[in-house]
Amino acid sequence: MIHEARLSGRDSSSDVTINPVLGPLAMVLTQDLALPLFFRELTVLGAGHLPLEGPVLLAPTHRSRWDALLLPHAAGRRRTGRDCRFMVSIDEMAGLQGWFLQRLGCFPVNPRRPGPSSLRLAVELLQAHQQLVVFPEGRIQQVDEPLRLMPGLARLTQLALAQDVPLQVLPVGIGYGHSRPRPWDRAAICFGPPQPFEGEGRRALASFTHQLARAMQSAEEAARRAVGRPLGAA
């Protein structure tokens, strides 16, 4: 069963409702046109880890603007029966782009200092059994360096679990044939197993962040091998 988000407050349902016209149109433009025309091969690994119901938080590596199109392709309505809701940087929600993103189910957050309203909205979405995407790195990273995650996702997980939300957090790795994807490139996305959150307080937050970073790194290694560009390769 798919639960519709019913949210309260000023920053609530108007920020996360997917427009019934723009949503399907965006799906056709991205999944039927943009992705097949740009990439010669799209590989999805670990799809069996994706739950088809219940609250889920996807934590992907962030390598390109194409990531935001690959995730609905691999985990969106056509594959799982439900949409991907995105928590995005507040800078991305400005102007005309922000107008469209808001109507496609996105809402803003300051990745370095996630405010209470953004976290509360995210928890309410998860309580409504939505599928939420948060990029824990907070920005696009195209250099092969150890993952550095912002603390927001761990805080969100802790808040949701404290409110008895049966949340699953899935690490996601994304890989491309080149650090900057080129036309007719290869792309792969890998879903890892859900990561448990254990303990309380700041030590638990730090431990979970470290654990999630390792799991994301492992998923990215699998994705990169699938496109013939293992980590460490030029």
Q: What pLDDT is attached to residue 234?
A: 55
Q: Report how far apart, in Å, the C-alpha atoms of 24 and of each of 37, 77, 114, 144 are.
A: 19, 10, 30, 35
Its pTM stands at: 0.90
Q: What pLDDT is attached to residue 112?
A: 66
Q: What pLDDT is attached to residue 97?
A: 86
Q: What pLDDT is attached to residue 128?
A: 94
Q: What pLDDT is attached to residue 231?
A: 82
Q: pLDDT tens digit string along 37-93?
A: 999 999 999 999 999 999 999 999 999 999 999 999 999 999 999 999 999 888 888
Looking at domain 13-22+43-226, does it have CATH number 3.40.1130.10? Answer: yes
Q: What pLDDT is attached to residue 96?
A: 86
**Which regions of the chain are under pLDDT 50?**
1-10, 13-14
